[in-house]
Structure 1
Amino acid sequence: MFDLKLSDIKEWLIENREEYQRLRAKGFPPFDNAFYWTYNHLYDFIQYYKYKQRCDIGLSELDVNNFNRLSQWTKEYEILGSQDLLMFEVNYMDWTEEVSSHKIKIHKGLYTERKPFANILCFCEVFQHLYWNNKVHEAKLTENAKAEVIAELKTILKTYYIDTTHS
């Protein structure tokens, strides 16, 4: 098991880029080459970090006390939540294996610190709750249902959100 910092992953990818490109140039992926697949997994994972700032902004714009604004928020962030981050959620958030609350499992035996990705994870949880689970962008909900959605949202934010706008 390897616990990697974000900086370790970036450095390793840079240091090993040429070897990876050499293997990739062969046309077919080398199925039995652990280096090749490790590089692939780390590279795919690190690409999601580019969404951090958009997630930070999106979370800071949430108005949890205004249901109409929540509906508008899901429409505004629909591409980010339903397309850009969809595979992040599938690949890194839905593990049956018990993983420390301070880590994210990248792949078998590869873990990284959770904190740099905290608001990406939070954004995914919030978006999942509002968009997929409750369809606030299209559903007509009763006042009681709206209150439940907001109460659950507050719990999600309390659990996951790190305010990066007021450091």
Structure 2
Amino acid sequence: MDDTDRRFRMFYIRNWCPGRSVLEDTNPWLKDFAPMHQSLGVRSAIQTLAGIYTYDYLPLDSIRDRVNQRFSEAEQRLSQLLNDSTTAQNEAQANESIAIVDILSMQDTILTERRLKDPSSSPRWLQGFRHGEKFLQATDHGSRFWKLPNVQSSPLRISQSIIVG
């Protein structure tokens, strides 16, 4: 990770995440998604999101190029996960794909120029969250139990459900 990527990550942690929740201790963007930076796809999606904001304040070609590069990496990793038939059975891969979808969908809420011109069509951010919802349902732990109180969801899983919901 070079200096630009570190700046994007720090912007995400210090500026973007606190603006999404008034309660720091339960902020899913900070507590659950930020620690997933070991995953190339999640890290690239986070850096893209932070880079978009950075580019608004500092419109340099180098920042735009980096944002596009990181977006391409996140999109490529998401495609790889969605095309892998074992993703639904592997909890780590399922969590990674849902996190990438959540973060990339947030970009479409802030990038007005990416919005579809046809008002009758469903917005991309909504399509993204619907894909996240389908993937959450496909990998739902609750479907394996007879009694719902037996389900023990991870904090990440709960956060993903809240954000997608």
Shorter-chain TM-score bucket reads: 0.3 to 0.5
- TM-score for both structures, normalised by structure 2: 0.32
- TM-score for both structures, normalised by structure 1: 0.32
Q: Which structure would you say has the larger Rg?
A: 1
Q: Which has the higher strand share?
A: 1
